[in-house]
Structure 1
Amino acid sequence: MNYCEKIRQSMIDGDDDSVVKYIKKSLLSGYDPKYILKNILIDALSLIARKEEKNECLIPEVLLAMQAFKSGYKVIEPYLKEKEKDYDIIIVMGTVQGDIHDLGKNVIKIFLETLDVKIIDLGTDVPAEKFIEAIENYNANILMMSSLLTTTMSEMKKVMDMLEDRKLRQRVHVFIGGASVGESFREKIGADCYTESVVDLLDYLKKNMARIKENS
């Protein structure tokens, strides 16, 4: 039986029970858990993300696929765990103060969890000071902020100003995202990166990871 295709299709269908069942069977058959994660689960989630960007699927379908991914990831996670270690890349992420939307942030977090990074998720409605405290406390070198509301965009500028005041800006690479922001706003506040999709974000990270490590 082709478990790879069964897992992939179950992911796309948002059938988390079947995802779990076929992953367990594939592991018993000797499949590499890293292969299942990178070449099946992430590929399927990337496909859903691209469809969502093109308005070819609905938000409920995205949510079901995300849940299926999480269920599958829980099964293979024990096979992937390594001893506690020091990470070269530490990411602080959250939705800015006044905004409680987290769908986009949570989708990005799922993808980031498959990389060799440590993630500090501050959740939603995060005050500027809390972003700064987390960066200092965890010695983070990446900050990811999201805002879906035009009324909360100014919070990103507040965080950027605080990074400058605390002399943290040079060592922290800042990503911004969300429906209310774009490339022109990124330039205006002096952030480092804005991408329109999670796929573009991952491509940017992979290309610039070494440079980010060197600057931190």
Structure 2
Amino acid sequence: MYEVRIMVTKEEVISKFKEAIINGDEEEAVKWAKESISIGLDAYEMITKYGGEAMEIVSKMYEEKKIFVPEVLLAANALTNAIEILKPYIKIETTKVPAKIVLGVVEGDIHDIGKNLVKIMLSAAGFEVIDLGRDVPLQKFIEVTKEVKADVLGMSALMSTTMPGMKKVIDMLKEAGIRDKIVVIVGGGPVTPEWAQSIGADARPKDASAAVGITKELVEKLKQKRGESW
């Protein structure tokens, strides 16, 4: 017996993929992630564009009180599992400048999809990424940065109420005497380039892909100025 394979269009795969994420259906999200690879869709675009669009819909539904935190977490989990399928197929140029990067979502914030996308892209580019996860105590950013002698500290926030934590961390880096030893990158929905500049961050990449190029450039400049190590 031969298995009969029903052909689906790229549009159908994308639609089903987004629908699965919105519904928080992990099994379906993984299924359509695999299907997207089999028909030649771009893995990075599936994650950042279509996965991102699905999560934007989820966020809007949450804001409109059509769904609640459990449904948001199910959607995020569905996308996270789909990302694991798509990750090996992301094509990206690896860096020639080794660097250690500490990443985390600031204290009080549990939204880590954006941070996870940045982690995937930076790891794929050859950087060593230390992921602190979400709802990270501000002092922990300092402790781990010093412990591993990081070259880059990346912080994310999706809620405007948690954004001030980023400035506090930068101030703490100054107090610890290590601000000039590292690059600080910030991101998240409400974080603008202007606000990032106002708190003393080095950059606010527009997306996960841009984070790779900006990080490479800033690390090269840092090491020319600072040297290879602390």
* TM-score of the two chains, using structure 2 as the length reference: 0.63
* Residue number in structure 2 paired with 1:74: 84
Size of the alignment, in residue pairs? Answer: 197
Contact 2:138–2:168, Cα closer than 8 Å, also in 1: yes
- Alignment of 1:102 onto 2:103: no
* 2:30 aligned to which of 11, 20, 34: 20
In structure 2, C-alpha distance between the alignment counterparts of 1:178 and 1:132, rounded to whole Å = 20
Distance 1:23 1:51, change over 3 A: closer
Cα-to-partner distance string for 1:16-51 (whole Å, 9 max, x where unaligned) = 322323444566x5x56xx55223333311333565
Cα distance 1:181–1:210, how it changes in 2: closer, same or farther (>3 A)? closer
Contact persistence 1:3–1:23 (CA under 8 A): no
Structure 1 residue 150: deviation in Å? 4.5
Task: Give SS of 2:186's match.
Answer: strand
Distance in 2 separating the partners of 1:7 and 1:74: 17
Residue 208 (structure 1) aligned with residue 214 (structure 2): yes
What is the SS of the residue equivalent to 2:207?
helix
Give, as a single letter, the amino acid of the residue that structure 1 aligns with 2:203. C
Aligned partner letter, 1:134: V
Partner residue of 2:172? Answer: 162
The yes-or-no answer on 1:37 pairing with 2:43 is: yes
Shift of 1:113: 3.5
Specify the alignment match of 1:2 in structure 2.
Answer: 8
TM-score (norm 1): 0.66
Q: Percent identity between the aligned chains?
A: 28
Query: For 2:161 and 2:32, how far apart are their aligned partners in 1?
Result: 43
Pick one of 105, 115, 127 that aligns with 2:121. Answer: 115
1:186 partner SS: helix
Change (3 A) 1:43 1:208: same
